[in-house]
Amino acid sequence: MKKATKKEIEAIKSALLERYPEAVTELSYTNLYELVVAVALSAQCTDKRVNLITPALFDAYPTPAHLARADIEEVKRLIQSCSFFNNKAINLVKMAQRVVDVYGGEIPLDEKELTTLAGVGQKTAHVVLIEYTEANLMAVDTHVFRVSHRLGLSDDATAVATEATLVKKFKTDLHRLHQGLVLFGRYICTAKNPKCDTECFLKAYCKSTEGFKPR
């Protein structure tokens, strides 16, 4: 597959920033704690589904201290319509317990410290920091991975490697580019039946319509 040229990369970057100048997550949250929980739940689950789950969850456990004392079976019941709810419930309670025990009940706004929390890997930490602090970071989900490969921005086999490539090629405005790539992949450059002829504003740079997935 052909790779995007430097000129094409700059054009793609400009087009994404123009189309999505103020793009933010579609997850619903009111504070950092709620954002971390919502992002953790969104792994292999749609934002729309997460937004249906979290109101009752946050009503029952409004703070890390409440969640740290939660009965895991009750947490499972509240999030059971989410994929991998068993593991996610266990991780949410463990996450809250560490936040209380180690960080005094406050979610740490540091990548390394965030990734010490149960269920919070690099991608989740980056998404949180991108959304909450507008950090110049990139995070690669299935949408970003697919779009990056279709546009010839990356030919990497994994999400982590793709992230590093995008950081190297885009350099700046990464937080806005991440959000823009997510929205572009979610609504236009979809896995099945991408809207190539009707809505795609990046069609001139497309190298493939294959449904790329990270290994």
96-137: pLDDT as tens digits: 999 999 999 999 999 999 999 999 999 999 999 999 999 999
Is residue 49 in a domain?
yes
Per the listing, tokens 């580019």 go with 177
Q: Give the containing element (helix H, strand E) for 143.
A: helix 142-150
Domain encompassing residue 106? 32-133
Give catalytic status of residue 123 as yes or no.
yes
| Residue 140 pLDDT grade (very low, low, confident, very high; cuts 50, 70, 90) | very high
User: Which amino acid, one-letter code, is at 58?
Assistant: F
Residue of 76, 141, 156, 169 marked catalytic: 141
Specify whether 42 is located in the same domain as 108: yes
Cα–Cα distance, 200 to 51 (Å, whole number): 27
Of the CA atoms within 13 Å of residue 103, those in its CB half-sphere come to 19
Residue of 13, 76, 88, 123 marked catalytic: 123
Give catalytic status of residue 173 as yes or no.
no
Per the listing, tokens 């706004």 go with 109
Q: Show Cβ contacts of residue 204 under 8 Å, excluding neighbours closer than 6 positions.
A: none
Is residue 167 in a domain?
yes
Judged against a pLDDT cut of 90, whether residue 211 lies above it is answered with no
Write out pLDDT tens, residues 173-185. 999 999 999 999 9
Is residue 96 in a domain?
yes
pLDDT of residue 78: 98
DSSP class of residue 213 equals -
Closest by CA position to 5, among listed 172, 152, 204: 152
pTM: 0.93
Judged against a pLDDT cut of 80, whether residue 1 lies above it is answered with no
Boundary (domain end) residue, out of 100, 133, 166: 133
pLDDT of residue 77: 98
